[in-house]
Amino acid sequence: MSMAEDGGYNFAYLDEQTKRMIRRATLKAVAIPGYQVPFASREMPMPYGWGTGGIQVTASVIGPDDVLKVIDQGSDDTTNAVSIRNFFAKTTGVRTTEDTAAATVIQTRHRIPEAPLRAGQILVYQVPIPEPLRFLEPREIETRKMHALEEYGLMHVKLYEDISRHGEIATTYAYPVRVSGRYVMDPSPTPKFDNPKMDRMAALQLFGAGREKRIYAIPPHTEVKSLDFDDYPFDVQKWDVPCALCGATDSFLDEVVLDDRGGRMFVCSDSHFCATRRAEGHRGADPTNADAFLMEAAGR
Amino acid sequence: MTVMLEAQNVGKTFTLHVQDGTAIPVFKGVGLTLSAGDCVALTGNSGAGKSSFMRMLYANYVCSEGSIRVRHGGDWVDMATATPRRILEVRRRTMGYVSQFLRVIPRVSTLDIVAEPLRMLGADADAARDRAGALLARLNIPEKLRSLSPLTFSGGEQQRVNIARGFVAGHPILLLDEPTASLDAGNRTTVLELIEEAKADGSAILGIFHDGAVRDAVCTREFDITDYRVAAYG
Amino acid sequence: MTDTPLLRIEDLTVMYGNRVGCRSVDFDLYPGEVLGIVGESGSGKTTLLNAVSGRLAPTAGTVRYATRADGPRDLFAMTEPERRFLMRTDWAFVHQNPRDGLRMAVSAGANIGERLMGVGARHYGDIRGAALDWLGKVEIAGERIDDLPRTFSGGMQQRLQIARNLVTGPRLVFMDEPTGGLDVSVQARLLDLLRELVADLGLAAVVVTHDLAVARLLSHRLMVMRDGGVVESGLTDQVLDDPQHPYTQLLVSSVLQV
């Protein structure tokens, strides 16, 4: 008897009809890149706001031979990542991993792994608010028309306001993109640093919003362009220092507060990426704080 | 001489629906021809319908019967039946009207009011203002007043602004309703000069002048509308 | 004189169930002309305006507009995207209440720039420059460009609405009681602005108002409506100075002289 049957759960928790419904919605989403497809989001054993959309999408595409990785803000070992990974382990029995290259399905909250993904992998994003125009146009009827008629002037109004208020486009995460030259999409609250990774990614990207009941998708090798102005072009965040643990200069860094005197250091947000580099012998510039940080992390 | 305006069999009746549909006939069967270089004095007793007739020529009043044909460029336009668009065209290019009252739009300067007919003909703003300024100078409106709205001007000053506006574009047909009424001798003379210059330019002029001397000075003939009066009763 | 009217309305009727909104209205509008539509409440003037401006589908009749690319087109035979595009570029609609015609949550500059961005403007500097230019034209201080409309007075909001509408160089403007609700002195200033813009830009306009003074000031031609029908139409000064229809005479004689 598999663990799933032992616990009384169907494979991946959802019944087969529900999984089919979600796969149909997903297929439609893949056929219309960037378009938000409504779906009959189910009640899941965790509240809205905890990744129910991403979990339903993963549950519908995962099979017994898949290898699953779950990250939250780039890390495999935060509470949420661990809980979701355990959920799938219990209801599917599939092998789980922290190794990005070894995974076939990766569910993520708010980050894209640093290591480039390849054909055959599926990246599932957890999305809170799928509608990029929502903050400027609260009416659903209007936003649907705007997407249908490609009336995206309002999107640039938002960016214009940023520049007039802050001197630059201040949006640093959930930065709107145009998919395949057609639909404007919210990439989920990933940092804009990750937007270029979405462009022509070899893997399939699926987006699930449970509370809002929408699924959207970017098929492999699809053009994804971040919105900008000719004289204020899109650019990514940069840091003055490399990762304190592994010395990487091209990854997204999190800020770690060391003491209450303003001491801080910057470490890779993608925990697996950083560990891989350290295993290969890379080190940060200042070992003292780095070692203390790693010891504390190991102790947790 | 070239005929510029031909009114035939023109009649006017006012119907006052607000007073139980009372019909007030004014005149009937009026015929008048104006030629280039003419200056005709429109005369008649008070209440005979002089101003009404003039307004009908300008299409400000509806023409109850008859036709009012005007030479507009190479065409003839009947003001009694023409479309509003056509009438506005005629007023812009062919027919000018100096009324007794100046309708003032607040905040528009005297200079711009006078320049407007030239602007409507497509003239450049500065050139129009220059010509307007020159005409106002002739009519003794000092420079410092020209940038103000005529709202606070005296009756005589407003009248002179009205005259300047009427003469500035050099229309081929001019309708003047009591142009010298509130003017002193000096300004009256200037107006007479303007009329003579317009005549010499080939304009056809119809004017209502209550002052006999003025009439005799510039008008080539008289047209008495009293002959066409309709009695109100019987 | 061009022979094709910019807008041709033929036998236009709008019914609300059995109730008549407006009935069998015909008119043509040429470039540079301003048509005033006056009437009291319930006359059907707002219904007519909404129908001819594409916001309300008529029950019968046609609205034909001379498009730049394709010549005269039946407005309601167009697809919705075509009509919406037209209403965003070649046409403008000035609402009585500026709040209905503005985005209150974005700055004045963004309000003006939105239509430009909606037709593909992608240079921030140019968009901002155009916004400043238009603020000047409607006599709003340039330093207010980043302020929200809710910090503006009613008159300023209305002028901002006008700037927002005219920035894409429309050929036809619809106005619904543009000076309604404003103080008298503010009204005067706004009317001046409208007169100048219409003259300078060669706009055609349809202006609905219940105020005869506004109609006299702004419009070349006038249509008087009552109970859904047009009772009199013609040259503005003629309709107001020598009204023929009993209702028009009543309206004109009812206006108080100051």
Judge contact between B33 and B1, C-beta under 8 A. Answer: no
For the stretch B102-160, pLDDT in tens is 777 767 899 999 999 999 898 898 999 999 999 999 999 999 999 998 888 988 899 99
**What are the chain C neighbours of B17 within 8 Å (beta carbons)?**
245-246, 249-250
Instruction: Name the neighbours of A, counting chains with at least 3 Cβ pairs within 8 A.
Output: C
Is the pLDDT at C119 greater than 90? The verdict is no
Q: Has residue C216 been placed in a domain?
A: no
Instruction: Name the neighbours of C, counting chains with at least 3 Cβ pairs within 8 A.
Output: A, B
**Distance of alpha carbon A131 from alpha carbon A139, whole angstroms:** 11
Give A157→chain C minimum CA distance, Å: 6
Please give the DSSP secondary-structure letter assigned to residue B105: P
Q: Annotated catalytic, A246? A: yes
Tally Cβ neighbours within 10 Å of residue A183. Answer: 20
Please give the DSSP secondary-structure letter assigned to residue A250: S
**Distance of alpha carbon A145 from alpha carbon C258, whole angstroms:** 49
Is the pLDDT at C3 greater than 80? The verdict is no
Average pLDDT, chain A: 92
Residue C159: its pLDDT value, please?
93
**Distance of alpha carbon B151 from alpha carbon A261, whole angstroms:** 73
Whether chains C and A touch (3+ CB pairs under 8 A) is answered by yes
Cross-chain residue pair C124–A229, CB shorter than 8 Å: yes
Domain count, chain C: 1
Is the pLDDT at C76 greater than 70? The verdict is yes
User: CA C169, C172, C173: angle at the middle one, nearest 5?
Assistant: 95
Judge contact between B187 and B156, C-beta under 8 A. Answer: yes
Cross-chain residue pair C110–A231, CB shorter than 8 Å: no
**Distance of alpha carbon C32 from alpha carbon C173, whole angstroms:** 11
- Mean pLDDT of the region A100-124: 96
Q: Has residue C57 been placed in a domain?
A: no
**Distance of alpha carbon B223 from alpha carbon B53, whole angstroms:** 12
Q: Has residue C35 been placed in a domain?
A: no
At C146, is the secondary structure helix, strand, or coil?
coil
User: Residue A187 corresponds to which amino acid?
Assistant: P
From the candidates A54, A208, A268, A284, give the one annotated as an active-site residue: A268
Residue B19: its pLDDT value, please?
80
CA distance readout (Å), C112 to C129, C134, C142: 11, 8, 12
Residue C192: its pLDDT value, please?
83
* pLDDT band at residue A201 under the 50/70/90 scheme: very high
For residue B119, what are its two tokens? 């602007």
For the stretch C132-163, pLDDT in tens is 999 999 999 999 999 999 999 999 999 999 99
Q: Has residue C121 been placed in a domain?
A: yes
Q: Has residue C6 been placed in a domain?
A: no
Burial of C18 (0-12, 13-18, 19+ CB in 10 A): exposed
Residue B166: its pLDDT value, please?
93
Is the pLDDT at C224 greater than 90? The verdict is yes
Cross-chain residue pair C249–B61, CB shorter than 8 Å: no
**Distance of alpha carbon C257 from alpha carbon C236, whole angstroms:** 18
**Distance of alpha carbon B187 from alpha carbon B184, whole angstroms:** 6
* pLDDT band at residue A6 under the 50/70/90 scheme: low
A140 close to C (CB below 8 A):
no
From the candidates A54, A74, A243, A284, give the one annotated as an active-site residue: A243
Residue with tokens 């909606």: C118
A239 close to C (CB below 8 A):
no
For the stretch A209-252, pLDDT in tens is 999 999 999 999 999 999 999 999 999 988 999 999 999 999 99
CA distance readout (Å), B158 to A52, B146, C241: 79, 12, 21
User: Model ipTM?
Assistant: 0.90
**Distance of alpha carbon B173 from alpha carbon B69, whole angstroms:** 12
* pLDDT band at residue B234 under the 50/70/90 scheme: very low
From the candidates A53, A54, A210, A246, give the one annotated as an active-site residue: A246
Is the pLDDT at C194 greater than 90? The verdict is no
CB pairs under 8 A between B and C: 50
Residue C25: its pLDDT value, please?
96
**Over the Cα atoms of chain B, what is R_g?**
18
From the candidates A247, A274, A284, A299, give the one annotated as an active-site residue: A274
Element at C226 (helix H, strand E):
strand C221-226
CA distance readout (Å), B191 to A38, A290, B144: 80, 99, 22
A253-257 and A264-268 strand pairing: antiparallel
Give A194→chain C minimum CA distance, Å: 23
Closest CA to A130 of A27, A229, A36: A36
Is the pLDDT at A109 greater than 90? The verdict is yes
User: Residue B97 corresponds to which amino acid?
Assistant: Y
For the stretch B165-223, pLDDT in tens is 999 999 999 999 999 888 899 999 999 999 999 999 999 999 999 888 899 999 989 99
Judge contact between C142 and C132, C-beta under 8 A. Answer: yes
**What are the chain C neighbours of A149 within 8 Å (beta carbons)?**
80-81, 84
Find the CB nearest B62 among C192, C199, C244.
C244
Find the CB nearest B88 among C220, C249, C250.
C220
Q: Has residue C198 been placed in a domain?
A: no
A164 close to C (CB below 8 A):
yes
Considering only residues B107 and A93, tell me which one the structure prediction assigns the higher pLDDT: A93
In this structure, what are the phi and psi dihedrals at residue C64, rounded to the nearest 5 degrees?
-115, 130
Is the pLDDT at A5 greater than 60? The verdict is no
* pLDDT band at residue A99 under the 50/70/90 scheme: very high
Cross-chain residue pair B17–C250, CB shorter than 8 Å: yes
Segments forming the whole domain that contains residue C141: 104-169
**Distance of alpha carbon B39 from alpha carbon B196, whole angstroms:** 9
User: CA B137, B142, B144: angle at the middle one, nearest 5?
Assistant: 130
Q: Within the 27-66 window of chain A, which residues sit less than 8 Å (CB to CB) from chain C?
A: none
**Distance of alpha carbon B165 from alpha carbon B152, whole angstroms:** 18
For the stretch A10-67, pLDDT in tens is 999 999 999 999 999 999 999 999 999 999 999 999 899 999 999 999 999 999 999 9
DSSP A181-247: TTEEE---S-BGGGHHHHTT-SSEEEEEETTTTEEEEE-TT--EEE--BTTB-------SS--TTT-
From the candidates A7, A34, A181, A281, give the one annotated as an active-site residue: A34
At C70, is the secondary structure helix, strand, or coil?
coil
**Distance of alpha carbon C139 from alpha carbon C194, whole angstroms:** 12
In this structure, what are the phi and psi dihedrals at residue B27, rounded to the nearest 5 degrees?
-150, 170
Please give the DSSP secondary-structure letter assigned to residue C102: S
* pLDDT band at residue B43 under the 50/70/90 scheme: very high
Q: Has residue C141 been placed in a domain?
A: yes
Closest CA to A165 of A157, A155, A173: A157
Judge contact between A57 and A109, C-beta under 8 A. Answer: no
Q: Has residue C188 been placed in a domain?
A: no
- Mean pLDDT of the region C199-226: 91
**What are the chain C neighbours of B15 within 8 Å (beta carbons)?**
244
Residue with tokens 């129910």: A52
Between the two ends of chain C, the Cα-to-Cα distance in Å is: 39
User: Residue A259 corresponds to which amino acid?
Assistant: D
Q: Within the 219-258 window of chain C, which residues sit less than 8 Å (CB to CB) from chain B?
A: 220-221, 234-235, 237-238, 241-242, 244-246, 249-250, 253
Task: Residue count of chain B, please give it.
Answer: 234
**H-helix segments, chain B:** 50-57, 84-93, 110-120, 125-138, 143-146, 155-167, 185-200, 212-218
Q: Annotated catalytic, A268? A: yes
- Mean pLDDT of the region C165-171: 92
Please state which of the ranges A68-82, A227-241, C89-103, C190-204 shows the lowest mean pLDDT.
C190-204
